[in-house]
Amino acid sequence: MNLPEEITNLLDHCRNYGYDLLLETGELFPFGALTDATGRTHHREEEIDPKHIPSNGQIMERLLEYFQTQLDQHAARGYAIAYEASVQLDENTHTDALAVDIRYQDNDELPMFYFPFSMEGEDLVRFGEAFAVKRETPQ
């Protein structure tokens, strides 16, 4: 799949940061990346108060609200939200994956992207081959 450079930059950012997050914490928390109006990629994550840890859903809602505001104000061309998912590869095989949901101006046909991964010990993260799944359109 040939993707525009700015979308590839969002994917690369999410994969690289996801890798670092897994190495540092052993977990994936939702985070995102934004392509600003000039085409530069910026990281975005929530500051979390350890006394009041929000759910992953709440974090994703806040990221989405921020990104959508940036798009509505024409301060951004697109964004990606990344989070951990369990993906069924076939009838008998599941894997953990970094899911990346990209929304980009003038591109409504982007699939969902997945980077399967496994933790091998405390200091090794192994990513499998990335794949994309076409979004189902509501009928």
- Model confidence pLDDT, tens digit, residues 20-53: 999 998 889 999 999 999 999 999 998 877 788 8
- pLDDT for the residue 61: 95
- pLDDT for the residue 89: 81
Q: Determine the length of the chain.
A: 139
DSSP state letter for 26: S
What gap in Å lies between CA 94 and CA 26, rounded to an integer? Answer: 19
Q: How many CB atoms lie within 10 A of CB 89?
A: 13
- pLDDT for the residue 49: 78
Are 77 and 67 in contact, with CB atoms under 8 Å apart?
Answer: no
Domain ranges of the chain: 5-133
What gap in Å lies between CA 120 and CA 98, rounded to an integer? Answer: 16
- pLDDT for the residue 122: 75
Q: How many CB atoms lie within 10 A of CB 102?
A: 24
Which amino acid is it at 118?
A: S
Q: Which of 27, 20, 34 is nearest to 48 (CA)?
A: 27
State the 10-residue block means of pLDDT for the chain, 139 residues long: 89 96 90 96 87 89 95 94 92 93 88 93 86 79
- pLDDT for the residue 25: 87
46-50: long-range pairs with CB below 8 Å, 24+:
none
Q: How many CB atoms lie within 10 A of CB 90?
A: 6
Both tokens of 5, joined, read 């450079």
pTM of the shown model? 0.91
- pLDDT for the residue 139: 53
Residue bearing tokens 């928390």: 29
Are 44 and 70 in contact, with CB atoms under 8 Å apart?
Answer: no
